[in-house]
Amino acid sequence: MNLNITHFHKVLILSLMLMLITPSVHVQAAETKPQVQVLLLYDSLAKHTAQEGNVEALKRMLAAYGVQVTFTSIDQYVSGLITKFNKVIYIQNAGDLSITNPDYLHDMEGYTGDYMHIGKQIPAKLQRQLGVQIATTLPSSIQFQIDRFSQTITNDQSLTYMVSAIGTTYGSLISDSTELHAPFAVCNGSYAYIPYYQQGNLSELMMAYPLKDWLGVTREAQTYLLFKVIYPFSDLSLLKQLADQLFDAGIPFMVSARPVFENTDYPAMLRYLEALKYVQAKNGTILINAPVVQPTISQERPLKEQMESFIDVLADYGIAPLGIGAEMYWSYDRLYGSSGMGFFNSAILFPDETIRHREETPTAYSFAFSGFSLSAENTQEINYSGITSPQLPMDTMLTYDFIDDETKLAQLVDSIRNSWRLFGDYKNESHTVQTSKNTIVSNQGILTINQQVIDLNEAPKIIETNYDYVEKQKQSFATLFNIQNKIFAILILISLVVFGFLLIIGARLYKRKYKNQRRQ
């Protein structure tokens, strides 16, 4: 009887172990799923033309879809490169130039993977696959339409458009002056074609629709509200007001905070930390903004050590940063990618302003979560129908610069309230930040540091305002110098008394001598 019970227990324990092991195997398999890798080719960056910036915008959009991008020009293409990828995108900005690289022409002839072409001239092979017929016109204005978005722009160049195509079409290009009504893009299985693509107008966002289907992305997207950039010497009282107003309106938001690497025990820094903690308590999310890069100045401490120290300063203060915000070129740099961004599995890539590479690499560092940064200023001329703004296909960060002006900031908050945009809560996604000392995790809105849930209701600290920012130098022999000073003072005083006494005696002697001379 005892033997049977023991055997039963063994079977039960084994069954329970199998039940526990099986889900973990599925999780591991999901985590190790191969990442989509795309080869992005271009013929020109189109400097000083209407197409300038479209290559960079596409790179950021691909990052928002979680794609790892390898980036090169047609002129620098090397034999065999295309065989390492099953997805290739070619941006043709210089339609009047023919491709002369024999390695690319040879490899492309035998390529059988997925292919997307952006530009006026469609390759013959792709034209046959999509059944595309193209034409050219010169409309004075073009109206872009997709989903419930629309925008009308003036036009001063010829426009190539599709007369017909086989497959799923996206959006519309409309012009009353030329009776133009054509699809913006077409996608049919492995192939896609977009004849027109510019950065800065609605076509930049329209690109997201065919791109998502071509990449096979099925994830639901959100729009997030992000304010950048906050410094220790920003108006922190206004930052708290902003947090209060958005919290009262029920709008989740994010701020990107500039890191501080020195003097982290100064009151100014402690007030900075208190303000960030206040933002966090008001349903705000903290991102670490990439530090300002000064390549001409040697760094006393390595970037990795500096970034890790600041993350630890935040974590030790009960603040959970959930990602990094950086200009896009950081993700194409070995030093910045590994040493600056390597602590985060989530990143927001901003448009490049000043590119200062240290170790440029053609293959980008990719992240489990990355949103497409979209300046709110660039959306002012884009219209939408209906009460609420429709969601874009990819996770999007609608960005505003933080304003150190109470009146303008209040107007900005009112405009956000009245826009009827639906903003997601970044904390609800899965984010991890890892240093040698701290593990910061966000999952379904719960923030933990080293598996300890953060107390968002912790009372604020009062920071001492009287502080000597310049350290007092140590004084050697201070007592001896004080005694010497007193002795010198006494000696001078005695000398003055003696000198005065001699003056009085001298005066009396002179007066007596003067009287004697008159008597004679």
**37-215: CATH topology:** Rossmann fold (3.40.50)
- Is residue 311 within 8 Å of residue 433, measured between CB atoms? yes
- State the pLDDT at residue 295: 61
Angle, alpha carbons 281-273-397 (nearest 5°): 60
Q: DSSP label at 262?
A: S
Q: How far, in Å, are 129, 139, 172 from residue 157 at the CA level? A: 28, 8, 18
CA quadruple 53, 59, 62, 66: dihedral sign: negative
Angle at 201 between CA 162 and CA 177, to 5 degrees: 50
The residue length of the chain stands at 520
Are 399 and 373 in contact, with CB atoms under 8 Å apart?
Answer: yes
Give tens-digit pLDDT for 253-277. 999 999 999 888 889 899 999 999 9
| Same CATH fold assignment for domains 37-215 and 223-453 | no
Encoded tokens for 124:
């013959």
- How is residue 144 written in tokens? 């872009």
For residues 437 and 312, the answer to whether their CB atoms sit within 8 Å is yes
Alpha carbon distance, N-terminus to C-terminus of the chain: 154
- Tell me, what amino acid is at 383? N
Cβ pair 396, 60 in contact under 8 A = no
Assigned CATH class of 223-453:
alpha beta
Which residue stretches of 100-159 are H helix? 102-109, 124-130
Angle, helix 54-64 to helix 208-215, in steps of 10 degrees = 50
pLDDT, tens digit only, all 520 positions of the chain = 333 434 434 333 333 333 333 333 233 323 334 478 999 999 999 898 888 999 999 999 999 999 999 999 999 999 999 999 999 999 999 977 888 999 999 999 999 999 999 999 999 999 999 999 999 999 999 999 999 999 999 988 889 999 999 999 999 999 988 889 999 999 999 999 999 999 989 999 999 999 999 999 999 999 999 999 999 989 999 999 999 999 999 999 999 999 999 888 889 899 999 999 999 999 999 999 999 887 654 555 799 999 999 999 999 999 999 999 999 999 999 999 999 999 999 999 999 998 999 999 999 999 999 999 999 998 988 998 888 888 999 999 999 999 989 999 999 999 999 888 899 999 999 999 999 999 999 999 999 999 999 988 765 665 555 444 444 444 445 555 677 777 878 888 888 888 888 888 887 777 777 667 666 6
| Strands, E assignment, 147-281 | 149-154, 159-164, 168-175, 180-188, 191-194, 223-230, 253-257
Q: Where are the domains of the chain?
A: 37-215, 223-453
Strands (E), 216-303: 223-230, 253-257, 284-289
Distance CA 174, CA 177 (A): 9
φ, ψ of residue 53 to 5 degrees: the values are: 95, -10
Residue 456 tokens, joined: 């968002």
Residue 465: what pLDDT?
53
**pLDDT tens column, 320-350:** 999 999 999 999 999 999 999 999 999 999 9
Shortest CA distance to 220 belongs to which of 31, 428, 421, 32? 428
H helix or E strand, kind and range, residue 350: strand 346-350
Model pTM?
0.81
**Is 253 within 8 Å of 402 (Cβ atoms)?**
no
pLDDT at residue number 296: 53
